[in-house]
Structure 1
C-alpha cells in the first residue's frame, strides 16, 4: 500500500484512521498515495484554529501578516521542483501547465504579501469617510472593517490544487483569518505537500493553516456564525452547501465559484486573416488545450460573424492539429491528461451529448497519444465542434464539458451575438477580439453585467494581454448567475470577504482614534 498522506489539524500533523482513498497517476495508472480523514476530531480542529490561529493572526498588523506571507513564498519557491514532480504525477500536467498552478499560486501569494506592506501597521481598515448624522458635525458615523473572528473553510476543486489554495489563503491570512482547506481528493497531494512544507517551516502561528484530505463528511457541521466558506466546484454541490443547516442557521458567509460556460466573441468588421481574427484563433486553441481544458475560465463557446464561420473553423482546427497529446514526461508532448478516470468518463459522455447537436470541426480522436497507453491514460485530444444554428441548439449553451472541447457558432449582428453570449446565464469571463477601440469598449460594457471579467484583446496588446483564462490577483475572479455569484481576488477587494463591516457612531474626537 502506498504512503498515507497526513492531515494537518489543531496545529499538528494527523493521520486518518481508515485505509484511505487512493490517488493515481492519470497517465500511467499507478497508485501514488492515499488520503484519509477518518477519526479526526474536526470540532477540536476548528476550535483550535479559531482560538489559537485566529488570536495569533489578529494580534499582528497587516504589514506583519504580509511579512509572514512573504516568508511562505520563499518556502514554496525552495520546494518548487518537488511540486513540479507531484503535479506531473498526480495531475498529468505538462511543465507549462504546472507553472500556471504552482507559479501562479506563488505569484498571487506574493502580491498579497506586498499588499500587507502597503496597508501598514494597522489591525483594521476604514471604509469611506465619516458621515454626519445630523446638522451638528460633532456626532458622526464611521464604517470600519475588522477581521472576522472565525475560520475560513475552503472546499477546492481538482484542477488547481496549488493556485486554488493560495488565491484564497493569501487574502484570508493577510486579513487575520485562519484557514482550513479541503482539497479535491483526486489531486490532494500537491495541496497537502504545500501545507506540510509551510507548517514544517514554523512560519505561521499554530492553527493558522490546516488541511483535511479525503472525505468532507462533517466539515460543514463545524461551521459557526462568524466563519466563512469559499467553494469552487459544481453548481449541484454549491446548492448543497448553500442549504446546509449550519450555514442557514448561522447565516455563514459563503462565496461560490461554480459552472461557467465562458465565451469568446470576434466583433464584426474583421476579415479572415486579420490580426484580430488570428488572435481569436490562437487564444481559443490555447484555452482548449491548456490544462487539457480543465479550467473554470476556459473558452467553451466561440462566436464569429456568420460570414467567417468556415474560415474560423479552419484556422482554429489548424492550430489544434499541431497539439501533441500524451505523457507529460515526454518533452514533445504539449497537452497532458485529464486528472482521473472519472473525469475521462465525464468528458467523453458530455462530448457525445454535444455531438448530437453540433458538427465535428476537429476530431480529438485524430490525435495519437505519445508515450501513453490509450487503455490506461486519461488522455483525450482537443475537439472543436460547430453549431451552425445556435438559436436552435440550447445544449451548447447549457452543457459544460470540462475538458478540451469548445463549440464554434455564427452570429448575424452584434445584438444577436450578445444575446447568444448571455445564454450562458452568467460566466467568469468573456473575451472580445477586434481592432476598433470604440466598438470594443462599448461591447465590454454591454457584457459587464453578466460576467465577472471582460478580457479585451486588440492588436495593440497582442503580446501584452495576460490571457482569456489567466486569473490575475489584481482583477476580480468570480461571476454572476450560473457562475455562482461569487467574488475573489480583485486586489484589496478580496479582503472584504474576510472582514466584518460595522458602523461606529460617536463623537468626532472618538472617531479620530480609529485612524
Structure 2
C-alpha cells in the first residue's frame, strides 16, 4: 500500500486510523499516496489552534507577522520543483497550468507579506476617523479592528490546492488568526506538502497552521462563536454549510465562493477582424483550456452581436482545434486532464445536458489524446457550443459545466446583452471587449452590481491585462448571488474578514492612545 500522508494538527503530525483514501494520477491511473483523518480529536485540535496558535500570533505585530509570510515565501520557492511534480502527478496539469496554481500562490503570499510591512508595529487597525458624538468634541467614537479570537477553518476546492490554501491563509495569518485547512481530498497532497515544508522550517508558532486531509465529518461541529469558516466549492455544499448549527445558531462568520456562470461580452463596436474581436477570441480559448477549464473564474458564456456570431464561432473553433490534449508529461501537450473519473463523468453529463438546447460548434471528441490511453486517462477535448434561441435556452444560463466547455450566444443590442449576462444570477467575473472607452466604462458599471470583478480588455491593454480568469491579490475575488456572496483578497480588504469591528467611545485623550505609533 502507498504512503499514508500525515495530518498536522494540535501541533503534531498525526496519521488517521483507517486505511485512507487513495489519490490517483488522473492520466495513468496509478495510486500516489493515501489520506485519512479518522480518529483525530477535533475538539482538542481546534482548541489548541485557538489558544496556542492564536495567542502566539496576536502577540506579534503586523510587521512581525508579515516577516513570517516573507520567510514562508522563501521556503515555498525553494521547493517549487517538488510542487510541480506533485501537480503533474495528482492534478494532471501541464507546466503552465501548474504555474497558475503554484506560482500564483507564492505571488499572493508575497504580496501580503509586503502589504503587512506597511502596517508597521501595530496590533490593531483603525476604521476611518474618529467622530464626535455631541456638540462638545471631547467625547468621540472611533471604530477599531482587532483580530478575532478564534480559528479560521478553510474548506477548499480540488482545482487550486496551492493557491486555494495561501490566498486564504495569507490574510488570516497576517491578521493574527490561526488556520486549519481542509483541502479537497482528490488533490490534498500538494496542500499537505506545502504546509509540511513551512511547518518543518519552524517559521510559524505552534498551532498557527494546521492541515487535515481526508473526510470533513465533524469539522463544522468543532467551530465556536468567534471562529470563521471560508468555503470554496459547489452551491449544494455551500447550502449545507450555511444551514449548519455553527452558522445558523452560533453565528460563526462564513465566506462562500460557489458556482459561477461567468461571461465574456463583445461590445457592438468590435467587429470581426478588429483588434478587440481578436482579443476576445484569444481570451476565450485560453480560459476554456487553462487547467482544462477547471477554474471557478473560467468563461462559460460568450456574448457577441448577432452579426458577429458566425465569425466568432469560426475563429474560436479554429484556435481550439490546435489544442493538443493528453499526458502533461509530453511537451507537445497543451491541455492535461480533469482531476479524476468523477469529474470526467460530470463534464460529459453536463455537456450532454447543455446539448439538448445547443448545437456543437467545436466537438472536443475530435481531439485524439497524446501519449494517453482514452480508456484510462481523465482527458476530454475542449467543446464550444452555440445557441440561437438565447432567450429560451435556460440551461446555458443556469448550468456551470466545470471543464473545457463554453457556449457562444448572439445578442440583438446592448440592453439585450446585459439582460442575458444577468441571467447568470451573479458571477465572479465578466470580461468586456471593445475599443470605445466610454462604452466600456458605462457597461462595466452596469455589470458591477452582479459581478465581483469586471475585467475590461481594450486594445491599449491587450498585452498588459492580467487575464479574465486570473485572480490578482490586489483585486476582489468573490461575487454576489449564486456566486456565493463572498469576498476574498482585494488587498488589505481581506483582513476585514479576520478582524472584529468595535466602536470605542471615549475622550479624545483616550482615543489618541489608539493611534498607530509614529514611524522612526
- TM-score, structure 1 normalization: 1.00
* Local SS of the residue matching 1:83: helix
The CA distance in 1 between the partners of 2:500 and 2:439, in whole Å, is 40
Alignment of 1:43-58 (within 5 A): 43-58=43-58
Q: Deviations over 1:72-116 (max 9, x none)?
A: 000000100000000000000000000000000000000000011
The aligned residue for residue 89 of structure 2 is 89
Structure 1 residue ranges without an equivalent (≥5): none
1:319 pairs with 2:324? no
2: CA distance between counterparts of 1:30 and 1:338? Answer: 15
Alignment correspondent of 2:417 = 417
Distance 2:270 2:103 in 1: 36
C-alpha displacement of 1:498:
0.2
Q: Secondary structure at the match of 1:424?
A: coil
Where in structure 2 are the equivalents of 1:234-383 lying within 5 Å? 234-383=234-383
Counterpart Cα distance in 2 of 1:402 and 1:457: 24
Q: Is the 8 A contact 2:149 2:226 kept in 1?
A: yes
1:147-196 per-residue CA deviation (whole Å, 9 max, x = no partner) reads 00000000000000000000000000000000000000000000000001
What is the alpha-carbon distance in structure 2 between the residues aligned to residue 58 and residue 24 of structure 1?
40
Paired residue total: 515
Q: What is the rounded CA distance, in whole Å, between the counterparts of 1:76 and 1:387 in structure 2?
A: 45
Partner of 1:138: 138
Task: Determine if contact 2:238/2:258 at 8 Å carries over to the other structure.
Answer: yes
In the TM superposition, 1:95-110 aligns within 5 A as 95-110=95-110
Q: How does 1:107-126 map to 2 (within 5 A)?
A: 107-126=107-126
| Distance in structure 2 (CA, Å) of the matches to 1:120 and 1:394 | 52
Distance 2:415 2:366 in 1: 36
What is the aligned partner in structure 1 of residue 160 from structure 2? 160
- 2:209 and 2:394 map into 1 onto residues whose CA distance is 44
Counterpart position of 1:464: 464
- Between the aligned partners of 1:498 and 1:103, the Cα distance in structure 2 is 25
Distance 2:138 2:345 in 1: 67
Which residue of the partner structure matches residue 396 of structure 1? Answer: 396
Q: Give the alignment of 1:438-457 within 5 angstroms.
A: 438-457=438-457
Matches within 5 A, 1:74-85: 74-85=74-85
| TM-score, length basis structure 2 | 0.99
Q: Give 5+ residue unaligned stretches, structure 2.
A: 516-520
Q: CA offsets per residue over residues 262-282 of structure 1, 9 Å max, x none?
A: 000000022211100000000
Please state whether the residue corresponding to 1:140 is helix, strand or coil. Answer: strand
Q: Distance in 2 between matches of 1:255 and 1:33?
A: 31
Q: Is the 8 A contact 2:270 2:433 kept in 1?
A: no
Measure, in 2, the Cα distance between the counterparts of 1:383 and 1:464. Answer: 28
Cα drift, residue 246 of structure 1: 1.8
- Paired residue secondary structure (2:249): helix
Superposed displacement of residue 140, structure 1: 0.4
Return the offset for 1:250: 1.3
Indicate the SS of the match to 1:17: coil
> Does residue 428 in structure 1 map to residue 425 in structure 2?
no
Q: What residue number does 1:41 align with?
A: 41
